Amino acid sequence: MSHDSEGRASRSAASDHARTVAEQADRHALTLESVLAALRSARLSDAAARAEAVEIASAALIELRTATDRQRSSLLEPVTGAFSRLRADLRPLVRFGDLDVQFVEPPTTGRALPGDVAHSARAIVRTAVLALVDDGAARRVRIQWDCDGRNLLMQLRDDGAGALDVHDDAVRPIAERVVALEGTLSVASTPGWGSTVDISLPLDPSPRTAEADTDSDLTDREREVLRLVATGVGNREIAEGLGITLNTVKYHVANLLRKHGARTRAELAAAGART
């Protein structure tokens, strides 16, 4: 094997590892939030709360041991099946949390989703719901999926303060995932009435080249931002360090995700550490 081939294989392995770590972090966060929701529930006795927490943790451990990236990337999931898995993921928060999560079932005739798209879609929704739980302003969120044959269409509508903006830090991890999947995201908010997040993910994203993670086509500013992302600092610190606006940093990060073929900030940081 040539040095170039070995380098590409190494970069691919590092990228896969970073993706796995990021995905597991999302799922662990959901599990912990669900366990806390059960333990804090005023509707359960102490014994019942402990039993529910044990059941949630046990189910998460079983899933962690049996799930593999290969299954996610190679299998197709019916859109209804993928949505049912999302409902199962969020069931503990629905049962024991303060947030009322409502689900609008997708049409049964929708096109099957590639495994990586289905997995990413669930991760995006989980991240959004956890952000709403942390914010505490919303009491109700409606989750709706649909498929137009070429794209998975997702909508989340809450009844919070109506102050959410596409540039908010709470939206940043969601936007980064969507951009990495070559999708689109929009946020519409009405003060006092809530916010609506619309996301479209292509089911057939354009293929990424083997050299997508090189930095030959980066601008000088993008190299500076990538270097700082690799150190683990946040967007606000990057903006202050480079003397640019926060929105400009977010713009550069989105471009870096696209150019490196990265799906999460962790993947991007791993790519930056190798350059």
CATH classification at residue 244:
1.10.10.10
Which residues span the domain enclosing 182? 3-202
Statement to judge: residues 267 and 131 lie in one domain: no
Q: Would you state the pLDDT for residue 99?
A: 85
Question: Is 150 inside a domain boundary?
Answer: yes
Report how far residue 200's alpha carbon sits from residue 67's, in angstroms, rounded to the nearest whole number. Answer: 26
For residues 6-18, average pLDDT? 60
Together in a domain, 174 and 83 = yes
pLDDT band at 155 (very low <50, low <70, confident <90, very high): very high
Better-scored residue on pLDDT, 113 or 135: 113
Q: Tell me the HSE value of 29 on the side-chain side, using a 13 A CA sphere.
A: 17
Check pLDDT > 60 for residue 82: yes
Q: Are residues 233 and 107 in the same domain?
A: no
213 within a domain of the structure (yes/no)? no
> How much is the pLDDT for 212?
44
- pLDDT on residue 70: 43
- One domain, residues 241 and 178: no
Residues 48, 154 within the same domain: yes
Query: 238 with 120, same domain?
Result: no
Q: How far is CA 40 from CA 27, 34, 52, in A?
A: 20, 10, 11
Taking only the tens place, the pLDDT of each residue in 205-240 is 665 443 444 455 788 888 888 888 877 778 888 888
Between 48 and 213, where is the model more confident?
48
Q: For residue 73, what pLDDT is reported?
A: 47
Q: Residue 142 has what pLDDT?
A: 95
Residues paired with residue 77 on neighbouring β-strands, in sequence order: 113
Q: How far apart are alpha carbons 71 and 69 in whole angstroms?
A: 5
pLDDT of residue 151: 93
pLDDT of residue 210: 37
User: Residue 270 falls within a domain, yes or no?
Assistant: yes
Q: What's the total number of domains in the chain?
A: 2
Mean pLDDT to the nearest integer, 106-123: 86
DSSP 34-82: HHHHHHH-TTS-HHHHHHHHHHHHHHHHHHHHH--HHHHHH-EE-HHHH
Mean pLDDT of 137-154: 92
Question: Both 232 and 188 in a single domain?
Answer: no
For residues 116-134, b (16+ Cβ closer than 10 Å) or e, as one string? bbbbbbbbbbbbbbbbbbe
pLDDT of residue 15: 65
Q: pTM for the complete prediction? A: 0.56
Question: Per residue in 87-105, pLDDT tens?
Answer: 988 888 777 778 889 999 9
Residue 59 lies in a domain: yes
pLDDT higher than threshold 90 for residue 35: no
Q: What is the mean pLDDT of the chain?
A: 79
Asked if residue 209 is part of any domain, the answer here is no
Same domain, yes or no: 189 and 237: no
Domain annotation covers residue 16: yes
Q: For 195-206, how does the pLDDT look when each residue is reduced to its tens digit (9 = 90+)? A: 999 999 998 866
Give residues with Cβ within 8 angstroms of 193, minimum separation 6: 159, 162
226 and 180 housed in the same domain = no
**Do 118 and 161 fall within a single domain?**
yes
86 in a structural domain: yes
Residues 24, 156, single domain; the answer is yes
CATH of the domain at 124: 3.30.565.10
Dihedral sign, CA of 57, 170, 112, 92?
positive
- Rounded to whole angstroms, the Cα distance separating 141 from 102 reads 6
